[in-house]
Structure 1
Amino acid sequence: MGFLRDLLSLVSFLTIYPVPSKYRSLYDAASAFYLSPMVGFLRGVPGFIILTIAGSLPQQFLAGFAIALHIIIQGFLHIDGFIDFSEALLASRFGRDARAIMKDRYRGSYGIASMGLYIALLYSSLSSIDPKLLPVVYLLGEVIHGGSMVICMGLGRVEPYEGLGSVFKRSLSRGRVAISMVVLITLYSLVSLLSLGSLPLYQLVLAILAPVFSAMIANRVLGYVSGDVAGFSGEASYVFFMISWVSI
């Protein structure tokens, strides 16, 4: 029951799926954070089904729908982190305090620009992917997204204050990060082999590089990895993964 309680708490934290209120503990969710690739799979299943059924619709519509579904099912949680950390990175180049910017809830021009660039890259990528591959790629992307956050948090330094990031960071041992990698690779391999009949390793490796570099940059600029950085890592990994499928 402890495992199920922790997993359901993580589902309630990372998705908008309805979960009984007794399974909404932040600390239980943190305990199961290493299972984020599994939650990513659960998050991707509705999109996989809908995109498979609606495969005959115009590709541009499906791309826009996939983006909307990706953002809505996560409850706008990770895209918010992507905007915050992007703005902090860009503004810090001109001498501003990146940590202060991360805590500022108001969106500046850098945040708006980074969001626009993200949507443009994601839309152009999704609308260029073979329609027959799109449902599977969407599902794999969600699995990658979940695993990316764990890798980034595992490589980053802990926040110097009691934020959400520190709660999740302290729950991650090296063993749990390793288990998360096994879960990620297993789900990725099973979905790929069953749906595609092959294992696209190039795309997996490219996507995994995103959280590694995200953690390195955050450690240098902020001195730690926060929840916003983990969200940034997930979204960066997601968009790079989609871009890698354009030429397939």
Structure 2
Amino acid sequence: MFGNVIGDFITGFQFLTRIPIKAQTQWSPNSFSQSVKYFPLIGGIIGLILAGIVYGAQGLLGVKIPMHLLAIGLILFEIILTGGLHCDGLMDTIDGVFSGKPREKMLEIMKDSRVGAFGAMSFCLLIFVKYSLLMDMDPKLLPLAVLVMPIVGRTAVVIPITFYPYARPEGLGKAFYQSSHKYTLYVAGILAALLLIPLGKIVIVSGVIGIGFAFLLSEYVSKRLGGLTGDVYGATIELTEIVTLLVFIIYS
């Protein structure tokens, strides 16, 4: 049993990041779906890495890095760390949902590997907004904000995975959806609470608002597509991270 837990965690970790910890050539759909409950922990590891970068840049190593370089570095490193997977999902989602086409055409556009005008604009806006929020962040709160941001994003995505139907008969994202249910959400919620609640009021508020945003986003997109896809999961993570940073700016 413990071996299955470790295996499921590694499956999720290697999918959501590009950190090589185990050579794995075969992926079980069941392991994919079972890994969803550990998404908050995976977000916590990503957050610890980003927070460590901030602490180092803020003088821990005796090197003072200008804030604009630190903000750019955090954005680039997160993209490298995740392989740009969620950014790709955001672009595909925006291309499809805002195409003005019927449902089937939307799904076809989202499946197309080419990036359209809406997708390109959404990526540019994502980087610009995230950069602006990091620049405006209170330097004392920045380590906490970048620690919490991935946790909330990867906790929030459990909602669309467990509550909403998959819009396609097949797809990589369906491996996460097909065996996930409310038990998955309960475990992920407990893990997220253990990670976030001890960090204080502003963290709790950012978590609640981020999860609420993910629910509203899922509801909107599901009505447009008749369900959700793996691309929508990625978009949920990216947009929820933006909302999390925004909460830190407003409540700081």
TM-score (ref. length: structure 2): 0.90
Tell whether 2:129 aligns with 1:126.
Answer: no
Superposed, which structure 2 residues align to 1:71-220 within 5 Å? 71-92=79-100, 97-190=105-198, 192-193=199-200, 198-220=201-223
1:29 aligns with 2:37: no
Task: Answer yes or no: is the 8 Å Cα contact 1:12–1:24 preserved in 2.
Answer: no
- Separation in structure 1 between the aligned mates of residue 129 and residue 41 of structure 2, nearest angstrom: 26
Superposed CA offset, 1:72-110 (max 9, x none): 111111110011101112212699921111111111111
**What's the Cα RMSD here?**
1.9
Q: Which amino acid aligns with 1:18?
A: P
Which is worse superposed, 69-78 or 23-32? 23-32
Indicate yes or no: 2:226 matched with 1:226. Answer: no
Q: Which of the numbers 47, 50, 53 marks the counterpart of 2:53? A: 50
Stretches (4+) displaced over 6 A: 93-96
- Give the TM-score normalised by the residue count of structure 1: 0.91
Give the number of aligned pairs: 243
C-alpha distance in 1 between matches for 2:101 and 2:136: 33
- Does the 8 Å CA contact 2:153/2:240 hold for their aligned counterparts? yes
CA distance in 2, matches of 1:239, 1:25: 31
Structure 2 gap ranges (5+): 59-63
CA contact (8 A) 1:159 1:165 kept: no
Structure 1: runs of 5+ lacking an equivalent: none
TM-aligned CA distance change 1:245 to 1:37, over 3 Å: same
Query: Bigger shift: 224-233 or 88-97?
Result: 88-97
Distance 1:95 1:39, change over 3 A: closer
Q: Relative to 1, partners in 2 of residues 1:81 and 1:26: Cα closer, same or farther, differing over 3 Å?
A: farther
1:172 positional shift: 1.0
Q: What fraction of aligned residue pairs are identical, expressed as a percent?
A: 24
Give the drift of 1:181. Answer: 1.3
Q: Is the contact between residue 19 and residue 81 of structure 2 (CA under 8 Å) also seen in structure 1?
A: yes
The residue aligned with 2:22 is 20
